[in-house]
Amino acid sequence: MCSKLIIVPTPIGNLEDITLRALQVLKQADLILAEDTRTSGILLKKYGITTHRESYHTYNEHKRTAAILEKIRNGNTIALISDAGTPGISDPGFLLVRECLAAGIEVECLPGATALIPALINSGFPADRFCFEGFLPLKKGRQARLKSFAEETRTLILYESPHRLLKTLEQLGEVLGQERQAVVCRELTKIYEETKRGSLADLSKWFRDNPPKGEIVIVLKGRGKDEETEQ
């Protein structure tokens, strides 16, 4: 295996949702960079992977990037994983990839698990054109981002935390209309996986009465002719 950075997606819930190729890379790499070594340790132990691992997360990525590039220049192949899903998708990874490419270091990204695609397909909304917005800003720029969705005709996908879900659904209803259809996917691939469908008003009521737990994806139907007529 030649020296390079390899982005390796890991399961978002069910530990069996990892590819054979990903397992091979993790076994053969010289070093695994993990968002949380304790979380990743559960997956690696299950598959008997003993490759040395070090932490690489939002709070240390700027400090560690130069040293990581030097390791690769010295002939090491490094695998980057996050706690769940594909690094770089609302997880650390973008900075390291960008700096590797700027330095002429090869980067390879394996296909694999991510929460947004299963949620999109399961929503039943058009998937030929969609817009992934990740997590909304917590304060600054939040309202501007929400308002930018008003004219969006593509299916919209958001990530959200359980304690902010209700607020987000209510704010989306204010901007897009309470009857806009949406789907909330919770704990994808896990034991308590749940999908709720309906209008933003219905979903707000449901989660007001049933506070959610776990990882959440919101999928919103894009603005169509029916919304244009109403507005």
Please give the chain's pLDDT, 231 residues, in tens: 689 999 999 999 999 999 999 999 999 999 999 999 999 999 999 999 999 999 999 999 999 999 999 999 999 999 999 999 999 999 999 999 999 999 999 999 999 999 999 999 999 999 999 999 999 999 999 999 999 999 999 999 999 999 999 999 999 999 999 999 999 999 999 999 999 999 999 999 999 999 999 999 999 999 985 554 444
Cα separation, 116 vs 84, whole angstroms: 12
CA distances from 172 to 136, 148, 210 (A): 11, 11, 19
Architecture of domain 5-109: 3-Layer(aba) Sandwich (3.40)
pLDDT at residue 64, rounded to an integer: 95
**Side chain identity at 91, as an amino acid letter?**
D
Cα gap 160→174, rounded to integer Å: 18
What is the reported pLDDT for 229? 41
Q: What pLDDT was estimated at residue 230?
A: 45
Q: How far apart are CA 139 and CA 158, in angstroms?
A: 16
Q: Find the distance separating the first CA and the last CA of the chain, reported in whole Å.
A: 58
Span 116-230 CATH architecture: 2-Layer Sandwich (3.30)
Instruction: Identify the pLDDT of residue 226.
Output: 56
Which structure tokens are listed for 3?
């020296």
State the pLDDT at residue 61: 92
Q: Is 201 exposed, middle or buried (0-12, 13-18, 19+ CB in 10 A)?
A: middle
In the chain, domain spans: 5-109, 116-230
